[in-house]
Amino acid sequence: MEFKYFKKIKDYNYGDLIAETEYWLILLAPDQRNLGTCVVALKRLEGDLAELKEEEWLEFSKIVKKLEYALKCAFNSTMFNWGCLMNSSYLKDLPDPHVHWHMIPRYKERVEFAGLIFEDPCFGSSTMKAKGGIRKVAEDVRIKVIKEIKDNLEI
Amino acid sequence: MEFKYFKKIKDYNYGDLIAETEYWLILLAPDQRNLGTCVVALKRLEGDLAELKEEEWLEFSKIVKKLEYALKCAFNSTMFNWGCLMNSSYLKDLPDPHVHWHMIPRYKERVEFAGLIFEDPCFGSSTMKAKGGIRKVAEDVRIKVIKEIKDNLEI
């Protein structure tokens, strides 16, 4: 069970670990079109949000509060989109979803960080797709982003 | 305060009431591209998900479970997308967001209901935008959709 869970987390490639709580992993997402985009993934095998336990919901609620605060301090994010989708898993013949949340910081103004410019041209819209595909950033930038978030995250 | 809250709920036009719990309203969304799309809106003035109280989170978690079950029974939904966005409010000069969740049932197979066909051409994708704009349905269809959900919703 433990092995299957770790394999799944690895296969899904949610990103680089920022912090860990009892029930959740907080990771920096591979797509950094919106600076500081995170994934919050459940630390056990479960594919249905409806099956979360009370203690997992309550801990998630604390992560929402602390992660929003950290992102505001770190990058002056204007507001946040939270979504639990799990769509892509259902393209497989045998869907194998895993409960995880996307946390997408949105920015009214552009942000400069580590010598790069991050914009949010679709601010105010539910889409972030104006610029096409995902935006990966170099490892040294990811390390700086993670440090900045961790320095403001009380977990 | 009470008046301001009701005015806001009316202005936002989340849809038609399906059910009500202590802290949340469950409504049938105006856009029915995906049959049974709902909005779950908080019953007090609050614009930041981070500020939800424990009891509001726990009641929301029960709604997730019961509403997913009801939609599966009613329309054989394959799975569900949940999102708390509140983007459009931030297009205003003075943003006035209100905490609400979008619950979007997704369908691997097309559904027939009340003589209409509902498809989900972007099943497996985070977008539902293939067919362009929103899809409104006639009042008699909305009444039937709401009845079908209520008949399966233990709230």
**Is there a contact between B64 and B113 (Cβ–Cβ < 8 Å)?**
no
pLDDT digits (tens, 9 = 90+) for B16-35: 999 999 999 999 999 999 99
CA distance A60 to chain B (A): 9
Which chain B positions have a beta carbon within 8 Å of A51's beta carbon? 65
What is the Rg, in whole angstroms, of the alpha carbon atoms belonging to chain B? 15
Q: Is A140 helix (H, G, I), strand (E, B) or coil?
A: helix
pTM above 0.90, yes or no: yes
Nearest residue to A101 via CA among B101, B21, B27, B99:
B101
Which chain A positions have a beta carbon within 8 Å of B79's beta carbon? 86-87, 90, 95, 97
CA distance linking residue B35 with residue B37, whole number of Å: 6
pLDDT digits (tens, 9 = 90+) for A94-130: 999 999 999 999 999 999 999 999 999 999 988 766 6
Say if the Cβ atoms of B124 and A48 lie within 8 Å.
Answer: no
C-alpha pair distances (Å), A115 with each of A35, A118, A140, A141, B105: 13, 10, 11, 9, 41
Q: Which amino acid is at B66?
A: K
Distance of CA A133 to the CA centre of its chain: 17
pLDDT digits (tens, 9 = 90+) for B62-110: 999 999 999 999 999 999 999 999 998 898 989 999 999 999 999 999 9
CA distance A68 to chain B (A): 7
CA distance linking residue B102 with residue B37, whole number of Å: 8
Can you give the pLDDT at residue B111?
97
Closest Cβ opposite residue A54 in set B61, B69, B97: B61
Structure tokens at B67: 């509403």
Say if the Cβ atoms of A129 and B125 lie within 8 Å.
Answer: no
Which chain A positions have a beta carbon within 8 Å of B60's beta carbon? 57
CB contact B87 to A (< 8 Å) = yes
Structure tokens at A8: 């799944």
Which chain B positions have a beta carbon within 8 Å of A58's beta carbon? 54, 57-58
**Is there a contact between A102 and A128 (Cβ–Cβ < 8 Å)?**
no
